[in-house]
Amino acid sequence: MRLRHAIGQQMIIGLAGTTLQKDEADFIVENNIGGVIFFKRNCESPEQLRNLSAEVQALRHRMPNKAPLFISIDMEGGRVHRLQPPFTKWPALAHVGKLDSTSVAFRFAQAMGDELKAVGINLDYAPSIDIFNNPQNTVIGDRALSDKADIVAKLGSALVRGYIKSDIIACAKHFPGHGHTLVDSHYGLPVEEKTYDELDQVELEPFKKVFRAKLDLLLTAHIQFPKIDPDWPVSLSEIFLKSILRDRLRYRGLVITDDLDMGALKQNWSKAEIAVRALKAGNNILLYCNEPDSPPTALDAVEKAVRDGGLEKATIEDNAERVLALKAERLVNPDPPSMEEAAKIIAHPDHLRLAKAIVAGQVPADLLTQAT
């Protein structure tokens, strides 16, 4: 595989609108880009979204590896909810957490995943397994399941298993935990004074649990912990991603950055530096959501770093192989179903009843005997 194609395979990028533009398609094909991420700007209706997914997925036939593309979305429920009605409107995870039922959590993720799969989406940046242990934290708030580590761990694991059951790749976030921060990493770099032992006793508990649920993908946080790594935020830190995540916690899945164009990073480093450092630190996939000039800048920077000896070629080759292996295992049937089939799944009466019951603080009758 050509070096640039290997680099491209470990990138997920945003698209401008509700249809695939020729320049976007050409860029994806020519650079062997690994996948795309959808936002509200890309989502107009179920039929439009299904067709956009199909068009993006069809690009693989023109690409060097012929591998399926990750078609991803940030879909948690509550305020992080890219898909509007007629899709089921899912409540925030805090409502799920209050019920403290693994059966409800599992069914919640499975049903949401079924609707995503119906329109060709195969990767969801969910669940958020941050612990809401700072009441002043508006960044996370009701996106968290609970302020208790054991509840987040138990229900987070059930959510991951539910996504897997629906054939969606789950991506737990935000490692090693965003629940205590006050600064929004979209706009600035949060700094936390916790030690590793303090993280290990609380924030890391849900991550340990979801790793055992066979989590395929983990998203890193743009947070700095100077008592653990005085130089780099987590998403750019070899201490966090290699020494802690791989060696101590023995996580074996893939690692993806949070959006690399967030203020937490770009206020402190150049786009070229960020891309190279993220891969050197131990991320397997780079995420670029909103700025069209960032992916080509990153491609050029990483390619130059490898040629100049600042980044090992073996790192790039290993990442590309791992991405392709996950796709071969999990994206067996990547094309979306027909719209006729999708219509039977989207806003299914069972999904609407489940969402309504969760908001009302009730465990649905059919899950009562399974509730824990």
Q: Which residues are the active-site residues?
A: 186, 258
Q: Alpha-carbon distance 147 to 152, whole Å?
A: 8
Cβ contact 145:162 at 8 Å: no
Instruction: Tell me the CA distances in angstroms from 262 to 186, 217, 275, one per residue in order.
Output: 5, 20, 13
Cβ contact 307:2 at 8 Å: no
Residue 128: strand, helix, or coil = strand
Q: Alpha-carbon distance 225 to 220, whole Å?
A: 13
Angle of helix 204-212 versus helix 149-165 axis, rounded to 10: 30
Phi-psi region of 3 (alpha: psi -120 to 50; beta: other; left: phi over 0): alpha
Backbone angles phi, psi at 308, to 5 degrees: -90, -5
